[in-house]
Amino acid sequence: MTLDDVLTPLDAALPELEALYIDLHRHPELSFAETRTAAELARRLERDGYEVHTGIAGTGVLGVLRNGEGPTVQLRADIDGLPVEEKTGLSYASTERGTDEHGTDVPVMHACGHDMHATWLSGAAALLAKGRDTWSGTLLVVFQPGEESAGGASAMVRDGLFDIAGTPDVVFGQHLVPGPAGWVLTRPGVIMAATDTLRITLYGRGGHGSRPETTVDPAVLAASVVLKLQTIVSREIAATDSAVVTVGSLHVGTASNVIADDAVLEVNIRSFDQAVRERVLAAVERIVNGEAATAGAPKAPEIVRSGSYPITENDEAANNALAEVFLAHFGPEVTMPAPLITGSEDFSEFGRAAGAPSVFWLVGGFDPETVITAMTEGRFERDIPSNHSPRFAPVLHPTLRTGIETLVAAALSRLAHPGVA
């Protein structure tokens, strides 16, 4: 079989790929600052015979392998780390630091698996280049910056990604999750939530804490807004729908005897349906303005959308076809339906911009016995570190192999095969 032929060199390549993963894990970089990471990934693409384009959206990398007539297939991996201090205890744990968007010095860690994503794609790209006599078409290998800042995918598109090599006929991507290593999970339709992050400034009128009657207290206003926002899900969203509204940050005042002029809230909203998403956003705006008016605020609130991820929705036909490929290759013991994920991704921006179907799936990366025991005993949420945890540490094997094989299988499922009717 073509897939088996292309995967034959993988055993010999695994030690080098393990070294790449460890190197990337040791040296994470924040969103749009992935210069070292991008340079190493670009170097490997050049070694493997790809036409390489760097600097897309700052630190994005595109490898193009033109191999005759046939479909154009895009494979994507994100490459940025997070401002998290690593606490895994690994011998190759990160001690790196970086400067965040506010100019603050912060620790940096690959706490979401993007180091594994990059290694998977680098390994798959090498195998597909070596096995180019088994397929024809064009392969686009995209290493995307800035996924954690919600802007990397759209930034690459705006910066001319598809002008370089044309638009893909299909877009594939995957994510490491704290499930059993070796498991592959797919889902037709919606698989991950949309996210909207709002920065809300409530304006009051400051003064002395001893004379509240001369003020409009933004602390009281903020408290009212926080409580009222929680009624959106409980009283405005149908029980058959779902959404999450979280006030993750609230800042007001500087001293106990000073009533401040304003309060700032950071609000995070998650939803799986565009109509629900719009309804929640409209409700937030209505409540914030209504509470401010009720309090007698001297100025209308300011609501700024500071971040946004789209709903990640798989093309049903493309997903189901790929699920069959995975089932045939990996077997039913480890190939199964994915749950709805309340986390978010900007991967679907590529398919939307290209007007092409896209499929995003999940790959487990933690010790199977530990995970299954925790699930069985109802301790999964407590015992298994989630993405973004400072203790997020996938096992290297078989995680490395599985993620490379899924990408190769996905690409070959859509590329043309010379000599095959």
CA 6 to CA 130: how far, in whole Å?
7
Q: What is the mean pLDDT of residues 262-279?
A: 97
- Tell me: pLDDT of 421 over 50: no
Integer CA distances (angstroms), 116 to 211, 311, 342, in order: 58, 23, 21
Q: Identify the band that residue 420 occupies on the pLDDT scale cut at 50, 70 and 90.
A: low
CA angle, corner 317, sides to 151 and 411, nearest 5?
Answer: 65
- Tell me: pLDDT of 270 over 50: yes
Distant-in-sequence, close-in-space partners of 147: CB < 8 Å, separation ≥ 6: 31, 78, 79, 80, 114, 153, 345, 346, 347
Q: Identify the band that residue 419 occupies on the pLDDT scale cut at 50, 70 and 90.
A: low
Architecture of domain 194-309: 2-Layer Sandwich (3.30)
pLDDT > 70 fraction of the chain, expressed in percent and rounded: 99
Classify domain 2-192+311-414 by CATH number.
Answer: 3.40.630.10
pTM value > 0.85: yes
Pairing of strands 105-107, 312-314: unpaired
Both structure tokens of 73: 């297939």
Which residue type does 360 have? F
Closest CA to 410 of 177, 135, 50, 189: 135
Answer whether the bond into residue 83 is a cis peptide, omega within 30°. no
Q: What is the mean pLDDT of residues 214-235?
A: 98
Q: What is the mean pLDDT of residues 24-46?
A: 98
CA 394 to CA 180: how far, in whole Å?
10
- Tell me: pLDDT of 73 over 60: yes
Q: Identify the band that residue 219 occupies on the pLDDT scale cut at 50, 70 and 90.
A: very high
- Tell me: pLDDT of 314 over 90: yes
Listed by start position, the domains of the chain span 2-192+311-414, 194-309
- Tell me: pLDDT of 391 over 70: yes
CA 109 to CA 116: how far, in whole Å?
13
Among 40-44, 142-146, 183-187, 379-383, the minimum mean pLDDT is found in 379-383
pLDDT of the residue at 190:
97
CATH topology agreement for domains 2-192+311-414 and 194-309:
no
- Contact predicate 335/319, CB 8 Å: no
CA 366 to CA 376: how far, in whole Å?
15
Q: What is the mean pLDDT of residues 231-252?
A: 96
CA 49 to CA 54: how far, in whole Å?
15
- Tell me: pLDDT of 233 over 50: yes
pLDDT of the residue at 258:
98
Q: What is the mean pLDDT of residues 7-33?
A: 98
pLDDT of the residue at 396:
98
